[in-house]
Amino acid sequence: MNWAGCHAFWRERRFPIFSDLRGASWANWREAIKEIFVTLFFSLMPLWLGLFIVTILTITEGTANFITKFASSSDLGILSASLLGPLLYMMFREEGRDTANRVVPRFPSGLWFVMIILACCIIATVIYSFTYLSNVHIFYGKSGAVISFINASTVATASWVLFTVVVFLMLFASTIRNSIESEPPRMMSGETQNFVAEFSAAQPPPQDTGDFITKFEAAQRTEGEQK
């Protein structure tokens, strides 16, 4: 299958979330990227500010170890889940409409967004719960040693994957929202152009100045003969 065939296949098929991104312009993507950057800049302040402090201190174990502990301690998973609340509110917020009894938002691919958000929250909850239970040191073996039943590297990997999914969810939802908000002006502009075209077509064609003068002189001569 060549590139044209792949493009036609992509345009004809309906893919959740991705199909709703087809009509988004670069301006919609650009505004969404700006929004995500500002959100992550302040949300990740504990991480990048902590990295700065770790870098200037000599009593720490280094930046790599700091990032690893940040992710393996489930803090990154909690941060990822906290970013999903405003996203869920944005989908159910419909101005001028009654949404009290709605379970599925009218937002494009809203059901898929909600299911992915719930799955991410459940995963973050599981990661945090098991990490917390492992760190309270209440489970002991027969020898009296503390049992740690959490694989820190697996938790770190799962947290980074969860964070990446959340960032893309935010990016896609913001882009679709920007596309929806910019659609009415485009539709209004198209209707205005159609109105102008119809109005121009309904107008009589402009007459030549010389032809107008000739008809005016002929009308004057006819008027004089009648007198």
CA distance 126 to 154: 13
Q: What is the pLDDT, as a whole number, of residue 93?
A: 73
User: In the chain, where are the structural domains located?
Assistant: 25-95+108-182
Residues 190 and 38 sit within 8 Å (Cβ to Cβ)? no
Residues 139 and 149 sit within 8 Å (Cβ to Cβ)? yes
Q: What is the pLDDT, as a whole number, of residue 3?
A: 57
Q: What is the pLDDT, as a whole number, of residue 6?
A: 55
Q: What is the pLDDT, as a whole number, of residue 12?
A: 62
Percent of the chain whose pLDDT exceeds 70: 62
CA 158 to chain CA centroid, nearest Å: 22
Q: What is the pLDDT of residues 76-119, one digit of tens each?
A: 888 999 999 888 888 877 544 555 555 556 788 888 898 999 99
- Distant-in-sequence, close-in-space partners of 97: CB < 8 Å, separation ≥ 6: 106
Q: Quick one: DSSP state of residue 18?
A: T
CA distance 178 to 182: 6
- Tokens linked to 83: 């970013």
Q: What is the pLDDT, as a whole number, of residue 187?
A: 45
Q: What is the pLDDT, as a whole number, of residue 31?
A: 92
Q: What is the pLDDT, as a whole number, of residue 189?
A: 47
* Summary mean pLDDT of the chain: 76
Best mean pLDDT range from 179-183, 206-210, 220-224: 179-183
Q: What is the pLDDT, as a whole number, of residue 48?
A: 84
Mean pLDDT, range 39-47, rounded to an integer:
88
Q: What is the pLDDT, as a whole number, of residue 47?
A: 84
**Ranges of H-type helices in the chain:** 3-12, 26-43, 45-56, 63-72, 75-82, 84-92, 110-135, 152-181, 183-202, 209-226
Q: What is the pLDDT, as a whole number, of residue 20?
A: 83
DSSP line for 82-147: HTHHHHHHHHH--TTS--TT-SS-SSTTHHHHHHHHHHHHHHHHHHHHHHHHHHTT--B-TTSPBP
Q: What is the pLDDT, as a whole number, of residue 53?
A: 82
Q: What is the pLDDT of residues 119-170, one digit of tens each?
A: 999 999 998 888 888 777 666 666 666 666 778 888 889 999 999 999 999 9
